[in-house]
Each structure stands twice: as C-alpha cells, then as structure tokens.
Amino acid sequence: MKPFDIVIIPPAERDLARLDPPSAQRIQKALGDLANEENPNWFLKRLEGDHDPTFFSLRIGEYRAILKIHNGRLIIVVVEV
C-alpha cells in the first residue's frame, strides 16, 4: 500500500508554529511515520461523541493531533496540548 498523503490545514500549521522547535519536529516526524504505516488505524483512537466518525486522535508525547482520514489522505486538523 502506498503511503498516505499528509495535509496540514492552516489552523494546525499555526498550532505547530507556536510550539518549541523540538516538539514541532517530533510531531512532524510522528505524522510522517504514521503516513508510511500500512494500517495507521493501529495507532489512532477514534473520537467519541457527536464528532464525525472519521476523526481520530494521535497522542504524541504531551500533544494530541486530531486528524481525519479521507480518500487516502491524513488530514491534520489541529495539534493541541
């Protein structure tokens, strides 16, 4: 299976820009590693509640990346503490 494309939407880009460089690099590396996984769902937690069922959370140290998988793309929506 080909790797997933990563799309980081502007609000998530701003979230990453606000982080210290080592944390931002760690998050970007984790997302890149996830995109190359054959089945990234092993590493993701589906968000519960009234959210769109295609939204997932990925824990990266003390941060969480909220993302959506859509048409073979990992769409990074937000990065939060």
Over the stretch 34-59, which tens digit does the pLDDT of each residue have?
Answer: 888 888 888 899 888 876 777 889 99
- pTM for this entry: 0.81
> H/E/C letters for each residue in 6-61?
EEECHHHHHHHHHCCHHHHHHHHHHHHHHHCCCCHHHHCEECCCCCCCCEEEEEEC
Q: How many domains does the chain have?
A: 1
CATH number of the domain enclosing 68: 3.30.2310.20
pLDDT of residue 2: 60
Domain that holds residue 43: 5-80
Reported as a single tens digit per residue, the pLDDT across 1-22 is 567 788 888 888 999 999 999 9
